[in-house]
Each structure stands twice: as C-alpha cells, then as structure tokens.
Amino acid sequence: MARNIYGLDLGTYEIKVFDKKKKIIWREKNAIAIRDEKYIFSVGDEAYEMYEKTPDNIQVVFPMKEGVISRFDDMQYLLQNLLHKDHRFARGSEYLVAVPTDVTEVEKKAFFDLVMHSMAKAKEVNIVERAIADAVGMGLDVKNSKGIFIVNFGGETTELSVVTMGGMVLNKMVKIGGIKIDHSIINLIRQHYDFLIGRLTAESLRLECSLYKSESDLIGKSVAGRDLATGVPQLKEIPLAIVKLALVDPLDQCIHEIRSMLERTPPEVLAAIQQNGIFITGGFSRLKGLAAYLEIKTGIPVQRARAADINTVVGLEQIISSSDLKGLTYSMLDKNYRWLK
C-alpha cells in the first residue's frame, strides 16, 4: 500500500498539516503545559486553553521561538503526540517541511531531524523555504517569475523574501510579529491607563482595530484587566485609537526593512516586483487596512493572500500534489547538499 505524504508548517504558535491521502488541512496549537517545571501533562489545543489561566506550578510553553526550534526535546514530544493522536499519521510516510528563509544551517537541520528522528519513522523528509511555499500557495508562477516579493507576518517574526525563477535572491527575518505588537499594546495601555491586560486580551483588541481612518477610532472596547493603582481586577473601556497608536512603531520598523531590501534588489528583479507588487501573508497580515497602509508607505501595490493564516500549508499541498513543483524541494541527505560537504 502506498504511503501517505504530509506537509508540515511549524509556526510559533500553531502547527498546520496537509494530509494528502485524506486531502485535508488540520491545525493544532504549538503549546505544551508543564507542571512543576518537569512533568508534561498536556499538549496542543488543550495546553493552549490553559495559557494565562494556570496556577503558579503550571507553565504553558511554546517550543518554537522567533521562527526556530528553541526547545527541541519538547517540540519532538509535542510532534510525536500529535502524530499519534487519532492515528493521524502512518509510519514510513513522506514529509515536506516548510522552513524559515533566514536561518542557519544548524537551525534548518533541526527541522529535518525533528521529523526524521520522530516516532513517525519517516521514509523521506524534504524541505522547502517558506517563501517558496507562500508564493505557490498564492498561485504565483514561482519557477518563471523574474521577481516576487513575499512578506510573511507571523507570530514572532516577519520574513521578507525576494524570489526569482524558483530561487531565493534576498531574504531577511525581522524579529517583529503579532506577539511583539500585542506587548506594545499592553505597554501603551499600562502607560496611559495604569491598567494591566493579558496578551490574549491585547490580541483581541488588535483584531478589532483597523489602520483605516474611521469613526471606529473613537469606539471603545470593554476588556478585563487589573487596575495597578488598587490592584483590583475590573473591566475598563479602551479606545481603539490607542490600539492603533501601538501598532504604528512596530509596523514602521517592518516597512523600513522592506524599503531596505528593495534598495538592495537587482534592478531587473526590482522592475518585476514593481510590476507584480508585494504579496503579504501570515496570520498578522489579516490586520484591517494593512495592505493599503503598506502600499502608501512603499509606493508599490500590495496584495494579501486569500487564506493568509494557512497560506504556507496550502503551498505545501500544491507542491506535494504537483510533480512539476517537486524540484523546488530538497533533502538534507542529498550528497549535493552543502550541509554534508
């Protein structure tokens, strides 16, 4: 019987998987709940449900940090549990893993080893740069296009990539993402209102916010937090204008990096990018008005992926399903791969 093929996108806060045999994409939170700093008792969505709600002896940790695996053993334990869950994975299957574009060879090999040496007993593990998968997921002609600029706004990082003729020209990982912006919201509310909110509450405010100038700026949203003057938990109405103000500085840092990369892009490639536009994806790219804001700041048309939060794994699905796109992937066991030279 033919073995299955899976596409894995290991995000900072969520794992997304494409199952070729079942033709489905499923998602699970990339979280582990640890008791007394040594006993793992919950993983995935169940662990994430405890985030910011646990007693002092229980800690919810995320094995990924700023786009790379920071807790390898925990990540492997989590992955093995998810592989075993509901018998989703068959042993001896093939895997295609999306990896960040701007990481060291050691960090890239950690993604490979994570799957190759797991209980999945993988028959074969191939990898592909996330930007390539993103471009494929957006329906772009990756192999023939002279210039594609991809910006992936993730949980802790923003990946900037210039792709031409199926290969990477420039790439950079900026350590700014949804989480840093959430902390920016927390700090600004604390400064203005002497009121402390949690990160998930900050995220809910961010999702309500829009970068468009509108009457919604004057609207307030009631959120739970703690009054720092009295120490008493309470509800407070926070204007969305304050939330928008917290977004500006981190976003402008990303725009500075985008402009810097455009300045370093070869002229012919840059001309193609100016014609094709900038393509944005990733969970944070769903921020209302972000595409228009970037377009104004860069002077280049900006398009967002239709399914931005799962676009990478959609790209993996298309690569797995097309023999013509298989050349975009490679194995770290290949004798021509520089890791083994």
Q: What angle do CA 60, 90, 88 make, to 5 degrees?
A: 45
pLDDT for res 341: 41
340 vs 267, higher pLDDT:
267
Q: Is the pLDDT of residue 319 over 80?
A: yes
**Which residue matches tokens 């209302």?**
288
Q: Is the pLDDT of residue 339 over 50?
A: no
Indicate whether 47 belongs to any domain.
no
Q: 209 with 83, same domain?
A: no
Instruction: Look at residue 207 and give its three-state secondary structure.
Output: helix
Q: 230 with 187, same domain?
A: yes
In terms of phi and psi (left: phi > 0; alpha: psi -120 to 50; beta: otherwise), the region of 282 is: left
pLDDT for res 101: 81
Confidence of residue 340 (pLDDT cuts 50, 70, 90): very low
Q: Is the pLDDT of residue 215 over 60?
A: no
Number of domains in the chain: 3
Q: 20 with 73, same domain?
A: yes
Other CB atoms within 10 A of residue 249 CB: 12
Q: 85 with 204, same domain?
A: no
Indicate whether 55 belongs to any domain.
no
pLDDT for res 89: 65
Mean pLDDT of the chain: 88
Q: Is the pLDDT of residue 157 over 80?
A: yes
Domain range for 151 is: 143-176+247-307
Give the single-character DSSP code of 288.
B
Q: 219 with 235, same domain?
A: yes
How far apart (Å, rounded) are the C-alpha atoms in residues 276 and 261? Answer: 16
- The CATH number that applies at residue 285 is 3.30.420.40
Q: 230 with 317, same domain?
A: no
- The CATH number that applies at residue 224 is 3.90.640.10
* Pairing assessment for the beta strands 94-99 and 64-65 based on DSSP bridges: unpaired
Q: 322 with 207, same domain?
A: no
Q: 22 with 76, same domain?
A: yes
Q: What angle do CA 285, 286, 290 make, to 5 degrees?
A: 65
Residue 136 contacts residue 327 (beta carbons within 8 Å)? no
Indicate whether 298 belongs to any domain.
yes
Q: 159 with 267, same domain?
A: yes
* Pairing assessment for the beta strands 158-164 and 167-174 based on DSSP bridges: antiparallel
Q: 287 with 324, same domain?
A: no
Give the tokens for residue 226.
């703690």
pLDDT for res 256: 96
Q: Which of residues 188, 211, 239 is at a domain's end?
A: 239
Q: Is the pLDDT of residue 185 over 80?
A: yes
Identify the weakest region by mean pLDDT among 81-95, 109-123, 144-158, 230-244.
81-95
Q: Is the pLDDT of residue 212 over 60?
A: yes
3-state percent helix, strand, coil for the chain, nearest multiple of 5 = 40, 30, 30
Q: 172 with 183, same domain?
A: no
